[in-house]
């Protein structure tokens, strides 16, 4: 997978040289390039913003640098983090992980001139996404989050593919609690069932924990959880 990130803060993406994303880059699973938007400015001050037409707070990112940047790195699927984007979900992560070339446009200030999005949409797929209902300074942090969500889905990145199949957001429920050694820690014991060796009972215990956690913390996910996944005992719960 090829990924191009365009930002006025390219150093924000140093974390993408670390850990499993860094390994995916060195092994060739991920071809990631970060570009400084100011590369495509032409004035001595390398200006990327200007005042908003119609008034209003702050500044807006100028279309010219963005147009030239997207011409240079495109075409691909353009992903634009935005406060007004579609909520980003695990399903979106799977869809993006299956694509050949992603381009991330990191806005700042009050956002990017709308004509940049409209012009790009005339020659490539564009997805405006939001991480959630809170306000960030710009798109960079969102791109780091999205890159983690996507990269872990790329074949060969995660050692144990099972960890993908066990995932709650993939299976529609929150995960059960996890434990490791020591068996007793500060007078707190690991649930006996997990040390029983009875894998059938362990699987049921984990599913019950997932159901109760999801019901209490994410009732919205329960609403979407197909009832036929529940056996009779669960349905009465």
Ligand X SMILES: N#Cc1c(-c2ccc3ccn(Cc4ccc(CN5CCCC5)cc4)c3c2)n[nH]c1N
Please give the residue ranges that form the binding site for ligand X (CB under 6 A).
57, 81-83, 85, 107-108, 110-111, 130-132, 134-139, 142
Smallest gap from residue 57 Cβ to ligand X (A): 5
Smallest gap from residue 22 Cβ to ligand X (A): 23
Residue 141 or 158 with smaller CB distance to ligand X: 141
**Cα separation, 159 vs 222, whole angstroms:** 30
Smallest gap from residue 139 Cβ to ligand X (A): 4
Residue 113 or 214 with smaller CB distance to ligand X: 113
Smallest gap from residue 129 Cβ to ligand X (A): 6
User: 92, 41 in Cβ contact below 8 A?
Assistant: no
Phi-psi region of 164 (alpha: psi -120 to 50; beta: other; left: phi over 0): alpha
**Cα separation, 30 vs 26, whole angstroms:** 8
Residue 44 or 135 with smaller CB distance to ligand X: 135
Residue 76 or 139 with smaller CB distance to ligand X: 139
**Cα separation, 173 vs 150, whole angstroms:** 20
Q: What is the token pair recorded at 127?
A: 């997805």
């Amino acid at each position: 997978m090829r990924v191009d990130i365009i930002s006025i803060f390219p150093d924000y993406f140093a974390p993408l040289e670390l850990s499993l994303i860094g390994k995916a880059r060195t092994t060739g699973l991920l071809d990631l390039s970060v570009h400084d938007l100011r590369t495509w400015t032409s004035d001595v001050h390398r200006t990327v913003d200007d005042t908003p037409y119609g008034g209003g707070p702050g500044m807006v990112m100028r279309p010219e640098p963005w147009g030239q940047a997207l011409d240079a790195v495109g075409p691909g699927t353009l992903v634009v983090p935005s406060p007004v984007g579609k909520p980003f979900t695990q399903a979106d992560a799977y869809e993006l992980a299956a694509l050949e070339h992603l381009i991330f446009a990191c806005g700042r200030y009050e956002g990017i001139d709308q004509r940049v999005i409209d012009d790009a949409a005339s020659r490539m797929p564009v997805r405006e996404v939001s991480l959630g209902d809170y306000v960030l300074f710009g798109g960079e942090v969102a791109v780091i989050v999205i890159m983690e969500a996507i990269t872990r889905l790329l074949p060969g990145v995660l050692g144990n593919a099972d960890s993908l199949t066990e995932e709650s957001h993939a299976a529609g429920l929150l995960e059960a609690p996890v434990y490791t050694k020591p068996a007793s820690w500060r007078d707190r014991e690991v649930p006996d069932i997990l040390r029983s060796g009875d894998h059938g009972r362990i699987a049921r215990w984990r599913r019950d924990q997932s159901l109760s956690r999801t019901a209490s913390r994410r009732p919205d996910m329960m609403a979407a959880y197909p009832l036929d996944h529940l056996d009779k005992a669960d349905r009465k719960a």
